[in-house]
Chain A
Amino acid sequence: MTSLTDRYIWAAVRTVPESERPDLELDIRDLIEGAVEARTATRHDPAAAERDALSELGDPERLAADYVDRPLTLIGPRYYLDWLRLLRTVLLIVVPLATVAVLVVRLLTTGSIGGAIGSAVSTAITATVHIGFWTTLLFVVLERSGTTDGTMEWTVDRLPDLPDHDRSARLPEFIASLVFLGLFAGAIVWQQLRSVVRDEAGGAVPLLDPALWSFWIPWFLGLIAAEALFALRVYRRGWSWWSAVVNLVLGLAFAVPALLLWAGGRVLNPAFTDAVGWDPAVAAGGGWTAGGIVVAAVVIIAAWDVADGFLRAHRALAAHPARPLSAHR
């Protein structure tokens, strides 16, 4: 046989472990020579017969893989769905968290919006690539190590909940809540770092009393985070009596300390009111002081929000007529 056959055999056997090579080489040589013999017996000249036979045998690496039962897929059907589910879950949890964390930290430490967004985007990309790579590698190793334990076996309990057809209707409200809460939290941080009012030295004069940072401003920032989680919960599950009660608690946790602090004159920064020459105790007109208007506004908004929660819970719990599943899409 010529070098073409030898090259074919070498291309095949070099992809299997050393110990299996001699055996495989004999087998493949037998196969090729049988195929060439069958062709020269009829009409071909030997060189053309050899070329023809090798072409028909196809990719030598595929042939070798067939011989030693090596998988020709990165992740086969046994693990594909587990791989997909794990990848999706980890990506959906880790990437948004890491991105938001980097965005907030960079925003607070550098104060530059552009730089913070740049860092956040680069974090999102890096996290996605790393998670994709390492998860896939794990499953590639699993696929090749050939373990067959049933830890990831599918059970009926893993069936997903039916899609909630009201959810898409709640999406605009959910987004509006997040935007509002984000702006609110941003405004609290912004008035401290970059207030429009400046003192003689050119430093920012915060609107809120800096003494509040010892407890109450973190309290309100924490409440904003809790409100965001609550909005997510309502978006996913809809309103219920339970969520109306949580809404009431959150509303009280905000309104009561806010009103007490306001009544005690502890909200505004004295340096700020001095700088702008504004006193909330002075009557603004019609017998109302600016301070009184703020109190009324907080009470009305809080009361409306709480009442609205119970109203929505009542409406949501009125029975929905059954629909075919396909209508959920």
Chain B
Amino acid sequence: MSRDDDLTAGHLQELRRGTVVLACLTRLRTPDYGYSLLESLDVLGIQVDANTLYPLLRRLEKQGLLVSEWNTAESRPRKFYRTSPAGDDLAALLTDDWDRLTASLHRLSEGEEP
């Protein structure tokens, strides 16, 4: 990878950091287990590695933003995550902020002076 590509990748990573949290909190309003969440995010173009996502889910659970339960009905036990009421509130707040930033960036790129 050339230096320019590295640079681009670094900036993209910076920009996307944090959006994975918002995506998880939003998506897990419908309960799901880890790998299925990963694939559904991937389909939507939100790319995240499994070794990043799993520790993240566990951290969000510790922070009380997600709740989990083990589903033992299937062939092997699977951990299902669901957004908690606190996580729901945070997701709403983050979404508002995201929208506000998007609007601001549009106004900037249209050359609007403050």
Contact = CB atoms under 8 A, between A and B. Distances in A.
Interface of A: 26-28, 30-31, 33-35, 37-38, 56-58, 62-63, 66-67, 69
Interface of B: 33-36, 38-39, 49-52, 54-55, 58-59, 70, 76-79
Contacts of B59: 69
B114 to A, nearest CB: 30
Contact of B50 (A26, A31, A67, A69): A31
A37 B39 CA distance: 12
Contact of B33 (A26, A30, A56, A62): A30
Nearest to A34: B35
B39 A38 contact: yes
B54 A31 contact: yes
20 contacts: A26-B77, A27-B54, A27-B58, A27-B79, A30-B79, A31-B35, A31-B50, A33-B76, A34-B36, A34-B78, A56-B49, A56-B50, A58-B51, A62-B51, A63-B51, A63-B54, A63-B55, A66-B51, A67-B58, A69-B59
A35 B50 contact: yes
- State the main secondary structure of chain A at its contact with B: helix
Nearest to A58: B51
A37 B36 CA distance: 11
B55 A38 contact: no
Nearest to B62: A69
Contacts of B35: 31, 34-35, 37-38
Given A56-B50, A66-B52, A34 B77 contact: no
Contacts of A33: 76
Contacts of B78: 30, 34
Nearest to A1: B76
Nearest to B68: A27
B85 to A, nearest CB: 24
A92 B38 CA distance: 53
A158 B79 CA distance: 51
A327 to B, nearest CB: 33
Contacts of A63: 51, 54-55
B51 to A, nearest CB: 5
Contacts of A69: 59
Given A35-B35, A38-B39, A57 B79 contact: no
